[in-house]
Amino acid sequence: MKHISKNVWILSLISLFTDTASEMLYPILPIYLQSIGFTVVLIGVLEGVAEATAGLSKGYFGKRSDTSGKRVPFVQLGYAFSAVSKPMMAIFIFPVWIFFSRTIDRLGKGIRTGARDALLSDEASPQTKAKVFGFHRSMDTLGAVLGPAFALLYLYYYPEDYKTLFFIAFAPGLLAIAASFLLKEKKSAVNANKKKTSFFSFLNYWKQSPKAYRKLVIGLLIFTLFNSSDVFLLLKAKDAGLDDVAVIGVYIFYNLIYALFAFPIGIVADKIGLKKVFIFGLILFAVVYFGMASNVNLYVFFGLFFLYGVYAAATEGISKAWISNISDKKDVATAIGTYSSFQSLFTMMASALAGFIWFKFGASAIFILAGIATSCVILYFLIYVNNSFSNE
């Protein structure tokens, strides 16, 4: 575990606890909301508002972290918001309070994302970035295995007792808050700046950012536009005849593969180059989506979700490590926050586009189009995007 510092361990455990809490509720949230009177349309509006809040706030709070010269307070506040939102959704069942609680959860993600990733970047050299980000992603995604597994086990013994799960999810959230107080601020990580930060001031970074950053982020965002929510993959599996248990099973299986591969793939990326590994991940994504277009076999679905887990391991942490390598140290939180803001908004557009295509042309059209678009993005990266630093 060389190069994995105390701060990296603590941040990874915090993410593990938080993701366990969030993913415990992810499979049952739509069912719970319907049980307290939410329509499908209202659920869609709720999630849209929540994700927009998270997306826009990532850039702003990333910029605030850089200008204030602080990382840890943003991390602590962000995880605290996400933790307290869980029991709030069980206590307050009126729509306006549900909106408030869900928005608090996503705002917490926006507050912490840039500062947390900058803190991870501060703990690594350019030659170990992928390893550090990969380790963090492994621990984070392990929560996406433990959370749904616990929820399934609990609901097996206590069917339809959804509200209690929200209170149970508060426990790992409290552990995350407690662990955040063990983090140590690196005084020399950033230079404090008292200049006032407006909500959209992070957008100015796009004009001031290095050319390599803009080229990289353009490629990432084009890909994001055709990378819709994982819900569509699960719906395709469901439409192909898988029962509910099998669908949740492949989702847990995917996250397990993601968790197992993110760290070792990060080690490999540091050795052979982030660009090579990222493109490898895009190739796997295209293979999975072309395969999803026509598959109806249960075993093939597990094979495709295995490849999908490896794809995620080869791209999620790698992209942030890559961004941090080509950004000035004093702007890392802004650079990652700006990208994450655009990414959240493009993900919303991608899911809306996928829903329209599914309704108009059928499920297969989504996956074929995404596979073709990803093939074009691969060419873009091969031709226009340079390696993440000079010795790759």
Residue 198 has what pLDDT? 64
| Residue 198 forms part of a structural domain | no
Report d(CA 84, CA 148) in Å as an integer. 20
Supply 222's token pair: 């084009």
Task: Say if residue 390 is exposed, middle or buried (CB neighbours under 10 Å; 0-12, 13-18, 19+).
Answer: exposed
| Residue 190 forms part of a structural domain | no
| Residue 188 forms part of a structural domain | no
Residue 372 has what pLDDT? 96
188-209: b or e for each residue (b if 16 or more CB lie within 10 Å)?
A: ebbeeeeeebeeebbeebeeeb
Report d(CA 359, CA 364) in Å as an integer. 11
Report d(CA 31, CA 136) in Å as an integer. 31
What single letter denotes the amino acid at residue 312?
Answer: A
- The runs of H, that is alpha helices, within 293-362 are 298-313, 316-325, 332-361
Supply 1's token pair: 């575990």
Give the pLDDT means over successive 10-residue stretches in the chain (392 positions).
86 96 82 77 73 82 88 94 90 82 89 92 89 94 91 86 90 95 74 59 81 93 89 81 79 92 95 94 96 85 94 94 90 90 86 84 90 96 74 36
| Residue 215 forms part of a structural domain | yes
Number of structural domains (the chain) is 1
Residue 82 has what pLDDT? 93
Taking only Cα atoms into account, the Rg of the chain, rounded to an integer number of angstroms, comes to 20
For residue 194, the Cα-to-chain-centroid distance in whole angstroms is 31
* pTM recorded for the entire structure: 0.86
Report d(CA 105, CA 57) in Å as an integer. 12
Residue 190 has what pLDDT? 47
Report d(CA 217, CA 224) in Å as an integer. 10
Judge contact between 180 and 79, C-beta under 8 A: yes
| Residue 392 forms part of a structural domain | no
Task: Say if residue 373 is exposed, middle or buried (CB neighbours under 10 Å; 0-12, 13-18, 19+).
Answer: middle
Residue 392 has what pLDDT? 38
Nearest to 205 by CA among 336, 116, 321: 336
Q: Note down the domain range covering 138.
A: 6-181+203-384
Report the CATH number at residue 238. Answer: 1.20.1250.20
| Residue 389 forms part of a structural domain | no
Judge contact between 294 and 362, C-beta under 8 A: no
Give the dihedral sign, CA 215/216/221/223. Answer: positive
| Residue 114 forms part of a structural domain | yes
Q: Is the backbone of residue 69 left (phi > 0), alpha (psi -120 to 50) or beta?
A: left
| Residue 196 forms part of a structural domain | no
